[in-house]
Structure 1
Amino acid sequence: MHALLIGATGATGKDLLDLLLKDDSYHKVDIFVRRNLDIQHEKLKIHIINFDIPEQWKHLVKGDVLFSCLGTTLKAAGGKEAQWIVDYDYQYQFAKFARQNNVNNYVLVSSGFSSPNSPFYYTRMKGQLEEAVKALGFSKLTIFNPPVLIRKNSDRTAEVAGLKAIQFFNRIGIFRSQNPLPTEILAQAMINSAKTKEYGIFTLKGKAIWKCAETN
């Protein structure tokens, strides 16, 4: 299989890239990044692109499956408008070009509690992206709605605090469905989901993600 990946520099993306390069099912892995990475592998092709100039790279979005782990925080982006560009515009345009280039399998990392009608900006944005990519007509679309993620060496203050709070509630029997998820488990589930033969639109949450990660 030929894998395409955006968001390879994030926590989930790094784990996913590592697993893809080790997986014999994938003979080629193309990643699309803003700057070069200090990594070499016989299966890996690094495309350094300007996301804002799709005319320069849209013809390269060709393969068997597109994995999307792209995303940023409101603080890192500097505002809602800038975050929308990364979390919605870039991901949607990549999905659109992939579909135009006959990529039929798309695996998207969204967020927990996503909904196009959410009263909260972030989860509403994610929900609207989900609805938009559903309309593109992929033969197989798998959307992951993970709970709080356990990222290695995370420096996101709010995320770390939220993780500690969820873990506390888990210990006293509350919010078990939102058991924090290590990014490497999410990455493995993404790879496994892409290999299944079923077609259609699938949404995986909570325990379903753990179960998918265990599937061989």
Structure 2
Amino acid sequence: MKKTAIILGATGLTGSILLEKLLNDNRYESIKLFSRKKIEGLPKKVQQFIGNILELETFKDDFKADEVFCCIGTTVKKTPNKETYKRIDFGIPVTAAKLSKENNISTFIVVSAMGANEKSTVFYNRTKGEMEQNVLLKNIKNTYILRPSIIEGNRNENRILEKIGLVVLKLIQPLFMGKLKNYKIIKAEEIAQTMVNLANSKVSEEKIIPSNKIKEISKKIKNN
């Protein structure tokens, strides 16, 4: 049976790679994108719903699919206002999970971040942690929360500090053993592939998946 997928954040680094994978995956007959701006040149397989996704509940009637992939995320540099930041990184994923539950969508996969902790004194980590806890409270059958380390990939935006961090991490990665494996650089392609694998094989019993496990799952099964 062919499936329908929803992607939130399809214009971002991981989301754009995920979109490409689903376009080439014959298990999916329809892909729904919810975003502020239209992506030009996509095939008929894709339906685009354009509007203010900070008010995602207005899309409830169209928010129907077999699986939801949430790749939404911003940065402190792009969104310095904490209230707006939280509406994006917390509000959108949690609302998406709420709509998924209400519309009987049984698979919800969201990209969080390493260090997410609802009790953290760091605003970024606390926001991610609060998002995770609220998503889990929706009790969607197949819920997966991915916690990647620093993500490597070709971004449209210029993140100087992140690029410096990538260079430093690449130099010291051979020293990362045991629990330190979670701090190794992870490719956006690996995250996207893991999302596809989880949706189609349920290859993990864990709900919260650390970075090194994301790498492992990305290698297990490839698209049909």
TM-score of the superposition, structure 2-length normalised? 0.90
Identity of aligned residues (%): 27
- Find the counterpart in structure 2 of residue 146 from structure 1: 148
Kept after mapping to 2: 8 A contact 1:104/1:140 = yes
- Is residue 169 from structure 1 mapped to residue 178 from structure 2 by the alignment? no
Counterpart residue type for residue 213 of structure 1: S
Q: Secondary structure at the match of 1:142?
A: strand
- Find the counterpart in structure 2 of residue 46 from structure 1: 48
Residues 75 and 196 of structure 1: is their aligned pair in 2 closer, same or farther, counting only changes over 3 Å? same
Q: Secondary structure at the match of 1:93?
A: helix
- Find the counterpart in structure 2 of residue 87 from structure 1: 89
Kept after mapping to 2: 8 A contact 1:30/1:46 = yes
Residues 114 and 55 of structure 1: is their aligned pair in 2 closer, same or farther, counting only changes over 3 Å? closer
- In the TM superposition, 1:9-158 aligns within 5 A as 9-153=11-155, 155-158=158-161
Task: Point out the more displaced range, 41-50 or 189-198.
Answer: 189-198
Q: How far off its partner does 1:197 sit?
A: 4.3
CA distance in 2, matches of 1:121, 1:130: 14
- Runs ≥4 residues deviating over 6 A: none
Pairwise CA RMSD: 1.8
Q: Secondary structure at the match of 1:194?
A: helix
Q: How far off its partner does 1:44 sit?
A: 0.7
Residues 177 and 198 of structure 1: is their aligned pair in 2 closer, same or farther, counting only changes over 3 Å? closer
Runs of 5+ consecutive residues of structure 1 not aligned to the other structure? none
Q: How far off its partner does 1:80 sit?
A: 1.6
Runs of 5+ consecutive residues of structure 2 not aligned to the other structure? none
- Is residue 193 from structure 1 mapped to residue 201 from structure 2 by the alignment? no
Task: Point out the more displaced range, 128-137 or 53-62.
Answer: 53-62
CA distance in 2, matches of 1:15, 1:54: 23
Residues 173 and 35 of structure 1: is their aligned pair in 2 closer, same or farther, counting only changes over 3 Å? closer
Question: How many residues are matched?
Answer: 216
Counterpart residue type for residue 57 of structure 1: F
Q: Secondary structure at the match of 1:107?
A: strand
Q: Secondary structure at the match of 1:70?
A: coil
Q: How far off its partner does 1:177 sit?
A: 3.0
Q: Secondary structure at the match of 2:108?
A: strand
- Find the counterpart in structure 1 of residue 183 from structure 2: 178
Kept after mapping to 1: 8 A contact 2:176/2:184 = no
Deviations 1:137-167 (A, max 9, x none): 1011011000110021451112112212222
Q: How far off its partner does 1:42 sit?
A: 2.6
Deviations 1:56-103 (A, max 9, x none): 312111110100000111111132221111111122111111211111
Task: Point out the more displaced range, 16-25 or 154-163.
Answer: 154-163
Counterpart residue type for residue 38 of structure 1: E
Kept after mapping to 2: 8 A contact 1:141/1:201 = no
Kept after mapping to 2: 8 A contact 1:151/1:182 = yes
Kept after mapping to 1: 8 A contact 2:197/2:203 = no
